[in-house]
């Protein structure tokens, strides 16, 4: 009987050692995955008023005939919604509306609150290779010749890309720049774009 209890104690000790080792491995690995978030530009700065903000949603990697992108571009002078078809990005549909400096300044303030310029540092990869079966979200802000924001995320994992802001908030802000967004984003055959926002 003493042998039996000794054997059980030995097995229990092995289980404890294995659990401790697994815990240490997880701790070491999770310690290496800490991501810092930085702001690439202050959107409330007066110079930002001359920028152009862009939000693009792509469909998953599919046949050329089925591939679509929805690209929303906003500046102090205009707001443009484009539905692009195929990997060569032929413009299938385009709508441009006017804009004002005051409206764009308010839009930039809202984007700032949604952390549009937040970038997750140390993240590598390309959205097209990181997520082949989901949608890709691309965030850009051009100021003069310099791209101040150039980040991305995907529907495969919203936390795997370089974008560090509020995905849903930014999407809603861009959509709200187009009062008839639902109809404007329909494809030429009357169906909704394969890359919905």
DSSP track, 16-64? HHHHHHHHHHHHHHHHHT---EEES--TTSGGGGG-EEEEEEE--S--T
pLDDT of 184 strictly over 90: no
Phi and psi of 153, rounded to 5°?
A: -150, 175
pLDDT of 33 strictly over 80: no
Kindly state the average pLDDT of the residues 169-184: 91
Domains in the chain: boundaries: 2-34, 38-184
pLDDT digits (tens, 9 = 90+) for 88-137: 999 999 999 999 999 999 999 999 999 999 999 988 888 888 888 999 99
**pLDDT value at residue 27:** 39
Q: What is the mean pLDDT of the chain?
A: 83
What topology does CATH give the domain 38-184?
A: Mago nashi protein (3.30.1560)
- Pick the range with the lowest mean pLDDT from 4-13, 76-85, 153-162: 4-13
pLDDT of 15 strictly over 70: no
Share of the chain above pLDDT 70, in %: 76
Buried b (16+ CB within 10 A) or exposed e, 54-83: bbbbbbbeeeeeebbbbbbbbbbeebbbbb
Structure tokens at 107: 């839009």
For residue 68, give the nearest of 48, 91, 50 by alpha carbon: 91
Cut 0.85: pTM above it: no
Which ranges of the chain does DSSP label H, i.e. alpha helix? 2-32, 101-113, 127-130, 167-175, 181-184
pLDDT of 193 strictly over 60: no
Structure tokens at 175: 């959509």
Rounded to an integer, what distance in angstroms lies between the CA atom of residue 146 and that of residue 160? 25
Our CA angle for 54, 65, 140, nearest 5°, is 10
**pLDDT value at residue 32:** 44
Structure tokens at 140: 């850009």
**pLDDT value at residue 160:** 79
For residue 163, give the nearest of 138, 134, 197, 126 by alpha carbon: 138
Structure tokens at 34: 């800490």
């Amino acid at each position: 009987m003493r042998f039996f209890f000794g054997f059980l104690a030995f097995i229990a000790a092995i289980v404890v050692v294995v659990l401790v080792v697994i815990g240490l491995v997880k701790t070491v690995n999770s310690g290496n995955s800490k991501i810092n978030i930085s702001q690439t530009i202050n959107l409330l700065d007066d110079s930002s008023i001359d920028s152009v903000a862009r939000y693009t949603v792509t469909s998953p990697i599919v046949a050329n005939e089925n591939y679509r992108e929805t690209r929303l571009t906003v500046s102090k002078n205009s707001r443009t919604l484009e539905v692009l078809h195929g990997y060569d990005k032929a413009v299938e549909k385009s709508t441009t509306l006017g804009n004002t400096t005051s409206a764009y300044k308010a839009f930039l303030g809202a984007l700032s609150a949604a952390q549009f310029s937040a970038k997750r540092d140390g993240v590598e990869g390309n959205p097209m290779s990181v997520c082949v079966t989901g949608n890709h979200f691309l965030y850009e802000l051009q100021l003069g010749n310099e791209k101040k924001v150039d980040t991305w995320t995907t529907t495969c994992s919203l936390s795997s890309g370089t974008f560090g802001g509020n995905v849903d908030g930014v999407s809603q802000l861009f959509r709200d720049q187009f009062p008839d967004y639902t109809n404007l984003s329909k494809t030429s055959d009357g169906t909704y774009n394969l890359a919905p926002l």
